[in-house]
């Protein structure tokens, strides 16, 4: 296996290129881009209600919209998708139970094992395929596994759609439904880390709820591809929401005063930004195709499915951080995923012209590297 492959064998690099301010061409990560003028305008028109007391009409509006879009009875407006993840796992009562999750997933690698520290889950990482999909037979084997006559119960299965480290890859409606059926037949719950699930739905040209409705809990970001300044939605049943709202109150997650201002921007994100995701994905496929033609870079084009993708630098003989520092000299920012892999993420603020200029910079830098 190459150092840059998303195979779980290489340690993810936390080192990033250091910038003073923002790169002139910033294709690192959606969350470093400013919200749209329409979002700021919507925020200025809001008279904040008493959000902590459930009396802010704009917060109520975005929660109703979130429930409708995800196919759940209720949704909760929260500061972050991490909040939604923590609440889902705490509510599911996972103490003394296994949590099956993909071995390269965000929940396992990035969030300091909050699902164990705060929800008591015994995590059981399972390596999926290059798209981040765990084999159904492997999941079933863990659920039914016995040793010495004992079985450790499985309380939840976690999916990530799109899968960040695999390169923005998607899980299908059919796969999601099969995992949900398997979980429920064994008395377990299904959680969806859907930070970019809107991208997955657009890429497959299906309604959002087709990917979210089968899940008992779904966490959906508003500030990645959709571009809002803040916020996430947690969709679930009305029965679950009773306990979740209590947990959120105890943890201060719903005690954000004037959150109606952010909810107003989130409504713009849900109602005006969705269609533009297809353009982000078109541009991502174009830049991935061109990078894959360049000596020293390798992109698995089968995994280029949404607005972000993974690029390996093994053949270049240069780490992603070294390449990133070369690109920095030309004002171009990329995001390091591993010592020999980086990520590019496109969003509404990246135009066709910016993509072409970025490609020209890559060509210039790679010519210098390959000639040296």
Q: Per residue in 250-276, pLDDT tens?
A: 999 998 999 999 999 999 999 999 989
CB atoms within 10 A of CB 240: 22
Nearest CA to 162 among 335, 310, 273, 4? Answer: 310
pLDDT in tens, 170-196: 999 999 999 999 999 999 999 999 999
Residue 7's pLDDT is: 43
Q: Is residue 17 part of a domain?
A: no
Which ranges of 300-351 would DSSP assign to H, the alpha helix?
320-328
Q: What is the pLDDT of residues 241-256, one digit of tens each?
A: 999 999 999 999 998 9
pLDDT greater than 80 at residue 1:
no
Is the pLDDT confidence value at 232 over 80? yes
Tell me: the pLDDT tens digits for 314-339? 999 999 999 999 999 999 999 999 99
Q: What percent of the chain has pLDDT over 70?
A: 96
Within 8 A by CB and 6+ apart from 148, the residues are none
Judge contact between 193 and 167, C-beta under 8 A.
no
- Taking residues 64-75, what's their average pLDDT? 98
pLDDT, position 302: 97
Q: Residue 53: which pLDDT band, with cuts at 50, 70 and 90?
A: confident
DSSP 13-29: P------SS--SEE-S-
What's the pLDDT tens digit per position in 134-152? 999 999 999 999 999 999 9
Range of the domain at 210: 37-272
Q: Provide the pLDDT for residue 14.
A: 66
- Count of residues for the chain? 372
Name residues whose C-beta falls within 8 Å of residue 147's C-beta, 6 or more positions apart in sequence. Answer: none
pLDDT at residue 6 is higher than 70 = no
Q: Are 228 and 336 contained in the same domain?
A: no
What pLDDT does residue 269 have? 97
Mean pLDDT across 15-36 = 93
Q: What is the pLDDT of residue 260?
A: 95
Total structural domains in the chain?
2
pLDDT band for position 2 (cuts 50, 70, 90): very low
Residue 12 pLDDT: 44
- Return the pLDDT at 112: 83
Q: Which of 272, 297, 321 is the last residue of a domain?
A: 272
Asked whether residue 231 is assigned to any structural domain, the reply reads yes
**Pairing status of strand 341-345 against strand 217-221:** unpaired
The chain-wide mean pLDDT, for the chain, equals: 94
Q: In terms of domains, do 302 and 279 share one?
A: yes
- Is 7 within the bounds of a domain? no
d(CA 270, CA 315): 41
**Under a CB-based contact definition with an 8 Å cutoff, are residues 270 and 232 in contact?**
no
Q: Domain with 128 in it: what CATH number?
A: 3.40.640.10
* Together in a domain, 29 and 41: no
For 201-220, the pLDDT digits (tens) are 999 999 999 999 999 999 99
Mean pLDDT, range 125-131, rounded to an integer: 97
Burial of 185 (0-12, 13-18, 19+ CB in 10 A): exposed
In a domain, 63, yes or no: yes
pLDDT of residue 11: 45
The answer to the question of residue 11 being in a domain is no
> What is the average per-residue pLDDT within 43-71?
93
Q: Sign of the C-alpha dihedral, residues 200, 275, 223, 248?
A: negative
What average pLDDT does range 53-64 have in this prediction?
A: 92
Q: At which of 249, 272, 295 does a domain end?
A: 272
pLDDT at 10 over 80: no
CATH number of the domain encompassing residue 362: 3.90.1150.10
Please check whether residue 320 is in contact with residue 11, taking contact to mean a CB–CB distance below 8 angstroms.
Answer: no
Q: Residue 30: which of 349, 321, 263, 359 has the closest Cα?
A: 349
Higher-confidence residue of 54 and 263: namely: 263
Q: Tell me, what's the pLDDT at 9?
A: 36
pLDDT band with cut points at 50, 70 and 90 for residue 307: very high
Residue 290 shares a structural domain with residue 267: no
Q: Model-level pTM?
A: 0.94
């Amino acid at each position: 296996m190459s150092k840059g492959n998303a195979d779980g064998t290489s340690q993810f690099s936390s080192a990033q290129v250091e910038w003073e301010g923002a790169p002139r061409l910033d294709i690192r990560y959606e969350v470093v881009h400013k919200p749209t003028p329409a979002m700021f305008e919507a925020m200025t028109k809001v008279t904040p209600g008493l959000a902590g007391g459930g009396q802010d009409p704009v917060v109520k509006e975005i929660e109703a919209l979130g429930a409708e879009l995800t196919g759940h009875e209720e949704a909760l407006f929260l500061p972050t998708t991490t909040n939604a993840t923590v609440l889902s796992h705490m509510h599911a009562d996972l103490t003394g139970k296994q949590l099956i999750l993909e071995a390269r997933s965000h929940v396992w690698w990035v969030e300091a094992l909050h699902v164990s520290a705060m929800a008591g889950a015994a995590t059981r990482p399972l390596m999926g395929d290059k798209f981040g999909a765990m084999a159904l037979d492997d999941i079933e084997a863990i659920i039914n596994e016995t040793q010495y006559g004992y079985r450790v119960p499985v309380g939840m299965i976690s999916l990530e759609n799109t899968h960040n480290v695999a390169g923005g890859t998607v899980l299908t409606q059919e796969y999601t439904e099969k995992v949900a059926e398997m979980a429920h037949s064994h008395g377990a719950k299904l959680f969806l880390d859907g930070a970019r699930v809107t991208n997955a739905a657009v890429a497959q040209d299906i309604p959002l709820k087709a990917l979210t409705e089968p899940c008992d809990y779904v966490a959906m970001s508003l500030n990645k591809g959709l571009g809002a300044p803040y916020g996430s939605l947690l969709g679930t049943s009305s029965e679950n929401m009773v306990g979740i709202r209590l947990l959120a109150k105890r943890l201060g997650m719903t005690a954000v005063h004037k959150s109606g201002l952010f909810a107003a921007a989130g409504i713009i994100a849900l109602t005006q930004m969705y269609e533009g995701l297809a353009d982000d994905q078109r541009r991502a496929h174009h830049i991935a195709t061109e990078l894959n033609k360049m000596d020293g870079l390798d992109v698995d084009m089968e995994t280029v499915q949404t607005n972000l993708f993974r690029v390996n630098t093994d053949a270049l003989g240069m780490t992603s951080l070294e390449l990133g520092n070369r690109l920095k000299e030309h004002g171009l920012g990329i995001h390091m995923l591993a010592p020999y892999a980086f990520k590019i993420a496109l969003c509404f603020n990246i135009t066709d012209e910016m993509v072409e200029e970025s490609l020209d910079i890559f060509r210039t830098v790679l010519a210098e590297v390959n000639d040296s």
